[in-house]
Amino acid sequence: MRQTLIFGFLCSFILLMGCEEEPENNGDSSSPGSDSLKSWAIPRDEVFDGGPGKDGIPALTEPEFISAEAADFLNDDELVIGFVVGDEARAYPHHILDWHEIINDRVGEVNIALTYCPLTGTGIGWNREIDGMVTTFGVSGLLYNSNLIPYDRKTNSNWSQMRLDCVNGELRGKEVETFPIVETTWLTWKEMYPNTKVVSRNTGHNRNYGRYPYGNYRTSHSYLIFPVSNEDDRLPNKERVLGIVQSGSVRVYTFSSFGDAVSVVNDELNGKQFVIVGNKEDNFMLSFINDKGDGSTFSFSAVQGQYPVVMTDDEGNLWDVSGRAVAGPRKDARLDVPPSFIGYWFSFAAFYPDLSIYGDS
């Protein structure tokens, strides 16, 4: 008996040592066939496994919200992403997004997925209604150019956050529809929308929300965890910039383009007129398409001290940070918002090597 046990033990060893070195398939039964799995619209060898695995960073869905007064865990200078639908304003703190990266929410009739990548510093509001079907997004655990790859739970397709399209799976090639969001400090957002609600720390997940999980990553310009396809030293890697994506062209705007009061920049990119409004001290930059609807453009100027109103125009309209006319002849009209978001400079340079910098001759 003893000899048999020993013999069996040794045989098991030999068999295991001879096994072929290939990873086993993912246990996800909803995965499409292997050809579809391996077909990517982006260079596959530049997509990396981030480490935690699919859903290892758990996205939130319709989380609990609390009032601004109750959110005593938020410091005034902390960044939040704000979203407004009608009279309802909601804030999604970076320090919760750092741990969850995606918040699937429903505000009024709007189904939004707040997608946030801590490694590229990009927060973008995605419409999670695709072809008339509402889905939720999860964190695939994969990264392209250090940037989040969400997956949709209806089809298991993988999407690129900063490319704004589906890059793998059944919906490959489909573009993301974005919602205008405002990234700013908690103090500024509260000043804009005192009645805002904010995501509670009671997320159903036990995390140390008071701790930034990536050490000195956001301040160390030389610290990149994953390879990127293009590097550009015109700006420090981790400088936060606003990028406008217009028909494949990208231009970024730095906070230094704006003063410590609300100011307005008019610009043109690929034949389209834009107005960019920002305030360096209050830490926001926003962009809108400048088009009256008849091909002519507004002449915008900044408005001070009337948050959330930030601009007025030659017709006397007052425009708020969501691009809505809150007063004037066009009351309740909306400015169109181009695909634009704030992120670290290096990530824009990686995704869009031909990008330009506003004010850079």
Partner 1 sequence: MGYLNYILKYMVVALGLLVSGQFSGYSQTCCSGGVPLSGNIGFEGAASGTLQMEFSYDLNFLSTLKTGSEVFEDGTRQRITHSFLVKTGYSINRWFAVDALFSYVLQGRRILFNDQVDQVNTHGLGDAVVMAKFILSSISETGSEFQLGLGPKLPLGRTDLTNNYDITLNADMQPGSGSWDLITWAYYARQFVIRQTMVASVRVVGRFNGENRAYLGTQSYSFGNTVQFYLGIGDQVVWGNSILSPSLSLRYRYAAGDRINDQELDNTGGQWINLLPAVSWHLSPNSILHFVPEIPLYSNVGGTQLTPTFRMQVGFYHSFGIMKKRKSNTYQL
- Judged by the rule CB under 8 A, the positions of this chain that interact with partner 1 are 2, 6, 9-10, 12-13, 16-17, 19, 21-28, 31, 34, 37-38, 40, 44-45, 47-56, 58, 138, 142, 158, 168, 205-208, 211, 213-215, 217, 220, 222-227
331 three-class SS? coil
160 touches 124 (CB < 8 A): no
Q: Which is nearer to partner 1, 146 or 340 (CB)?
A: 146
What's the Cα-to-Cα distance from 302 to each of 40, 179, 252, 264, 298, rounded to whole Å? 44, 23, 20, 6, 13
Q: For the CB of residue 96, give the shortest distance to partner 1 in the complex, in Å.
A: 15
221 touches 237 (CB < 8 A): yes
Q: For the CB of residue 346, give the shortest distance to partner 1 in the complex, in Å.
A: 14
Q: For residue 285, how far is the Cα from the chain centroid?
A: 15
Q: Which is nearer to partner 1, 218 or 280 (CB)?
A: 218
What's the Cα-to-Cα distance from 356 to each of 93, 104, 252, 338, 360, rounded to whole Å? 30, 32, 6, 16, 7
Q: For the CB of residue 197, give the shortest distance to partner 1 in the complex, in Å.
A: 24
What's the Cα-to-Cα distance from 306 to each of 36, 163, 184, 193, rounded to whole Å? 52, 35, 16, 11
- The pair phi, psi for residue 35, each rounded to 5°, is -65, -45
Q: For the CB of residue 61, give the shortest distance to partner 1 in the complex, in Å.
A: 9
Q: For the CB of residue 28, give the shortest distance to partner 1 in the complex, in Å.
A: 6
In which residue are the tokens 């610290």 written?
223
Cα torsion angle, 77, 82, 84, 90, sign? negative
Q: For the CB of residue 184, give the shortest distance to partner 1 in the complex, in Å.
A: 26
Q: Which is nearer to partner 1, 174 or 205 (CB)?
A: 205
Sheet bearing 147-152, strands edge to edge? 47-49, 137-144, 147-152, 158-160, 165-168
- The amino acid at 50: G
Residue 108 makes CB contacts below 8 A (sequence gap 6+) with 85, 86, 88
Q: For the CB of residue 199, give the shortest distance to partner 1 in the complex, in Å.
A: 18
Q: For the CB of residue 59, give the shortest distance to partner 1 in the complex, in Å.
A: 9
41 three-class SS? coil
Q: Which is nearer to partner 1, 27 or 305 (CB)?
A: 27
Q: Which is nearer to partner 1, 98 or 320 (CB)?
A: 98
Q: Which is nearer to partner 1, 31 or 195 (CB)?
A: 31
Nearest CA to 96 out of 16, 7, 211 is that of: 211
